[in-house]
Amino acid sequence: MEGLEKLKRTFQTGRTRGIDWRSAQLRALLRLLSQNEAQIFEALEKDLGKHAVEAYRDEIGVVKKSADHALLHLKEWMAPKKSPLPLLLQPARGQILTEPLGTVLIFGCWNFPISLTLDPLIGAISAGNTTVLKPSELAPACSSVLFRTIPLYLDTEAIKVVEGGSDIAEKLLEQQWDKIFFTGSPRVGRIIMSAAAKHLTPVTLELGGKCPAIFDVFSASDFKVAVKRIVGGKWGPCAGQACIGIDYLLVEQKHVTQLVDSLKLCIQRFYGDGVEKLQNICRIVNRHHFDRVRGMVEESGVAASIVYGGSFDEENLMIQPTILVNPPLDAQVMTDEIFGPLLPIITLDKIEESIEFINARAKPLAIYAFTKNEKLKDRILQETSSGSVTFNDAMIQFICDTLPFGGMGQSGFGRYHGKYSFDTFSHEKAVLHRNFGFELKARYPPWNSFKLEFIRLAYDLNYLALLLLLLGFNRHRQP
């Protein structure tokens, strides 16, 4: 690949390892975002119909916050850490040094084409790597803004943007990288992992899945807030084209009518009614995904479950926020990740059944539960597996730099955000400093039964007793 050797050479010079280089790049990224805000807004509007407020909330603001956080903590993250050592190893000193991995490859995703490309880059820069970024070709205007602006602000010998589709992605994957960070579908995730296996390259896979939300709210005021948060979390960020968006909702049968009525009112207030009058909501990214989502609604047996929405504007790739109650569980809308503005609601006799329902499916990236029931919360935490759990809100865990972000099982592996991003792109080197002053003969042949017992004791006894023994043993055996 053109330019890759240059990036590798830059890494070898050690230029990217110093805190000055890392901080300068992060500050330059902040300048890029501030000075090109209008262009980015325009590109997000063009690719996804994303409103400027949503664009700032979910893209520009998120990345600026992450860069500020990294700048604030970089020195502390880079500092060598002391590691306590067992007395058995004394006298000695243990250290953990973080070092950059080398030259890394980052694949962005189209639904948050700025933040899902630049947020991992912040981790790669903070850790001192050189980087190739491949923004998603499915958000071409944003890809082009990144391609044009990044070389104007960041070190071109260390950070390169490569535009293109799957053909280019395949070529990139033929190269040897020190890390591949991928955000996208489980299908492409598998391709990435097999390509990485050839060079034994470590990967972080940020994939998707069906994120459930459990609804168990009774007081009138909490109910109102929960409904707003569900509507904002489901249809707000990129019209449901979000990996941690609520995919389906679980609720007790007796509450479903009240819930659906409140959701409808809230949708109308936020986004308007009818597909032609939709506002403040993104469009579907392209015809392929539009047809995919429409296909879920048109699948036989599903139409009867629609209680709100279900209209499509093919010309403008708009889909009305749509609520379905109890669609068939074997229909695509309940077996595949929706990644669009449909919300199936599944009713249960008892809300506790939601745990079994979730566990019968692939491990989600996120689980949401709107509840004050501490026993239920505890059961969700103890009895389910997922990348994250958020109680009484949706989506906002994404902006929390102090919590790790990542999936489990089908929703991927590895984690990032804040210090976790730094760690994802770093190697923790174990360093043991010993001196020559103390020698334990039992480590060396010739073997005898005394040494066997001594070594057995060395591992079995607690460290303090061992130290006493060691000291005694050495006094007797030293020539």
Which residues contribute to the site for ligand NAD (CB under 6 A)?
107, 109, 111, 116, 134, 136-137, 165-166, 169-170, 173, 183-185, 188, 191, 206-208, 243, 337, 339, 365, 407, 412
Output phi, psi for 364, to 5 deg.
Answer: -80, 160
Q: Which is nearer to ligand NAD, 26 or 207 (CB)?
A: 207
Kindly state the tokens that stand for 337: 């990740």
Q: How does DSSP assign 399-442, residue by residue?
A: G-TTS-B---GGGEE--BSHHHHHHHTEEEEEEEEE-SS---GG
Q: Which is nearer to ligand NAD, 195 or 345 (CB)?
A: 195
C-alpha–C-alpha distance, residues 11 and 17, integer Å: 8
**Beta carbons of 231 and 385 less than 8 angstroms apart:** no
Q: Which residue, among 245, 235, 311, 314, has the nearest Cα to 269 in the 3D structure?
A: 235
Helix H or strand E encompassing 180: strand 179-183
Q: Is 76 a catalytic residue?
A: no
Q: Which is nearer to ligand NAD, 60 or 365 (CB)?
A: 365
Residue 288 beta carbon to ligand NAD: minimum distance, rounded to whole angstroms: 8
Q: Is 2 a catalytic residue?
A: no
Q: Which is nearer to ligand NAD, 128 or 209 (CB)?
A: 209
Q: How does DSSP assign 298-344, residue by residue?
A: HSTTTGGGEEE---EETTTTEE--EEEES--TTSHHHHS---SSEEE
Classified as helix, coil or strand, 179 is: strand
C-alpha–C-alpha distance, residues 183 and 398, integer Å: 14
Kindly state the tokens that stand for 209: 């899945």
Residue 43 beta carbon to ligand NAD: minimum distance, rounded to whole angstroms: 16
Q: Which is nearer to ligand NAD, 174 or 383 (CB)?
A: 174
The CA distances from residue 216 to 256, 347, 370, 377, 440, in Å, are 11, 12, 6, 11, 64
Q: Judge residue 17's burial from the number of C-beta atoms within 10 Å of its C-beta, 0-12 exposed, 13-18 middle, 19 or more buried.
A: middle
Residue 436 beta carbon to ligand NAD: minimum distance, rounded to whole angstroms: 51
Q: Which is nearer to ligand NAD, 140 or 184 (CB)?
A: 184
Residue 293 beta carbon to ligand NAD: minimum distance, rounded to whole angstroms: 12
Q: Which residue, among 156, 137, 145, has the nearest Cα to 28 in the 3D structure?
A: 156
Q: Considering 142, 243, 266, 282, which one is annotated as catalytic?
A: 243
Residue 425 beta carbon to ligand NAD: minimum distance, rounded to whole angstroms: 16
C-alpha–C-alpha distance, residues 340 and 294, integer Å: 9
Q: Which is nearer to ligand NAD, 256 or 317 (CB)?
A: 317
Q: Considering 206, 238, 266, 337, which one is annotated as catalytic?
A: 206
Residue 369 beta carbon to ligand NAD: minimum distance, rounded to whole angstroms: 20
Residue 152 beta carbon to ligand NAD: minimum distance, rounded to whole angstroms: 23
Kindly state the tokens that stand for 257: 């009518």
Please give the residue whose beta carbon sits closest to ligand NAD in the complex. Answer: 208
Tell me the sheet residues that pair with 322: 342
Task: Supply the residues annotated as catalytic.
Answer: 206, 243
